[in-house]
Amino acid sequence: MTTQIKDERVSQTSFATKMLQRPELGALIGAGVIFFLFWSVDTTGNFAAIGGTAGWTDIAAPIGIIAVFVALLMIGGEFDLSTGVMVGTSGLMAGLLTTEYNLNVWVAIALVFAFALLVGFINGMVVVNTGLPSFIVTLATFFVLRGANLAVTKELTGTVRVANVEDSNGFDQAHAIFASKMMIGTSNFQVSIIWWILATIFATWLLTRTRFGNWIFASGGDKVAARNAGVPVNRTKIILFMMSSLSASFVGIMFVLRLQGMQAGQGVGMEFFYIIAAAVGGTLLMGGAGSAIGASIGAAIMGIADIGIPYALWDQDWRWTFIGVILLAAVLVNTWIGTKAKGAKR
């Protein structure tokens, strides 16, 4: 590799890193404003206390775990619309493997993770080899899995749900690790919060501290330039698809253990919340810039709104409107930053 190319890449990264600060900071300020808003209209006195915190983090954690990896994929210039349904697929698959085939929970989890990696790999291979937009490719995956979830579950159980997962071998240890609660003060906190924090730290480290992180920015920023600079764009994208799929299956496992079963509709439609969380957190929809921690803040905003609205005794009907306004505001800011980033890169 020549020093000339290396210089260009380094300057790009440092520019991206600089730009990163702003959307992330914007999302954080947004979260602060929304938190303050719901704190001021709270009727329970619980919102900012332990009870409310346990509530909104419970909602935010599973969204955040997937959103940080969806953000990495989006920074890499691709979408994954199959993440939501993948949560359901993974939970159902783990449930069916344990209840219908009597497998140990840990064996089932290993098989589910392998399957998720395969789905991500297929998504990635199809996208990089056909040049089709990932929006379409993963939309197809979404429908394939959605149909399979229903058909396979009905075929094997005769109903639209899997139940009695708690009777399986290894359930208790797996439940303790992926789905237990811990009492802090007067409220139960979900262990998913710890996984959320770990996922955020890992994704942030990967994105900002490793060579692979630079590849992600480069692949999403300008594919041709990245390839010319020696970045393995295809491999990077395929790995990103595998990570987003794996993160979804991780959440699916958490849910099937917590709910001790799963119904076939779980996860459908949730993919948009992961994308919204990433977008609100400052990830550009066209790729090339964004942040993992921002996606986590985006997830937190959703959790805060979901708990804040009932606490305020507002009509829950407004929840969608609220998320829409947040999204539009965030994307307007991001587009403004995006045009600046684009101008500087070309």
Partner 1 sequence: MLGLADAGIATVTMNSGSDVFKSLGAFTHVGQDEIVAGREAGYKFNDLGATNILCPIQEAANVGLTDRCAGARETSTGSVTDFNLDGGLQDLTAASAKIKAALEADPTIDAVFALNADIAAKAVLPAVQDLGRDIFIGTVDMSEDALNAISAGDIVFAIDQQQYAQGYLSVVLLYLNATNAHSLGGGLPMYTGPGFVDASNVEQVIGLVAAGTR
Which residues of this protein are in contact with partner 1, per CB under 8 A?
43-44, 46, 51-52, 55-56, 58-59, 62, 84, 159, 161, 163-164, 188, 190, 255, 258-261, 263, 265-270, 306-307, 310-313, 315-317, 319-320
**Least Å distance between CB 118 and partner 1?**
24
Q: Burial code of 258-294, b = ≥16 C-beta within 10 A, e = fewer?
A: bbbbbbbebbbebbebbbbbbbbbbbbeebbbbbbbb
Cα angle 75, 295, 297 (rounded to 5 degrees) comes to 155
Between 44 and 173, whose beta carbon lies closer to partner 1? 44
> Please, are residues 232 and 3 in contact by the beta-carbon 8 Å criterion?
no
In 3D, which of 323, 324, 301, 274 has the Cα closest to residue 26?
301
Place of tokens 């393995």: 232
- If one counts every other C-beta atom within 10 angstroms of the C-beta of residue 231, the result is 22
**Least Å distance between CB 268 and partner 1?**
5
Cα angle 142, 143, 145 (rounded to 5 degrees) comes to 70
Q: Cα separation of 82 and 119, whole Å?
A: 9
**Least Å distance between CB 94 and partner 1?**
15
Between 216 and 262, whose beta carbon lies closer to partner 1? 262
Task: Compute the radius of gyration of the chain from its Cα atoms.
Answer: 20
Runs of H (alpha helix) within 169-290: 171-178, 192-209, 211-221, 223-228, 233-259, 271-280
**Least Å distance between CB 57 and partner 1?**
9
Between 102 and 316, whose beta carbon lies closer to partner 1? 316
Q: Is 302 helix (H, G, I), strand (E, B) or coil?
A: helix
Between 92 and 122, whose beta carbon lies closer to partner 1? 92
Between 62 and 213, whose beta carbon lies closer to partner 1? 62
Between 211 and 315, whose beta carbon lies closer to partner 1? 315
Between 223 and 258, whose beta carbon lies closer to partner 1? 258
**Least Å distance between CB 23 and partner 1?**
25
Between 115 and 311, whose beta carbon lies closer to partner 1? 311
**Least Å distance between CB 311 and partner 1?**
5
**Least Å distance between CB 346 and partner 1?**
40
Between 24 and 306, whose beta carbon lies closer to partner 1? 306
**Least Å distance between CB 196 and partner 1?**
13
**Least Å distance between CB 45 and partner 1?**
10
Q: Cα separation of 24 and 296, whole Å?
A: 10
Q: Cα separation of 86 and 265, whole Å?
A: 11
Positive or negative torsion for Cα 271, 275, 276, 281: positive
Which residues, including other chains, have CB under 8 Å from residue 123's CB and lie 6 or more apart?
A: 80, 82, 134, 137, 138, 141, 241, 245
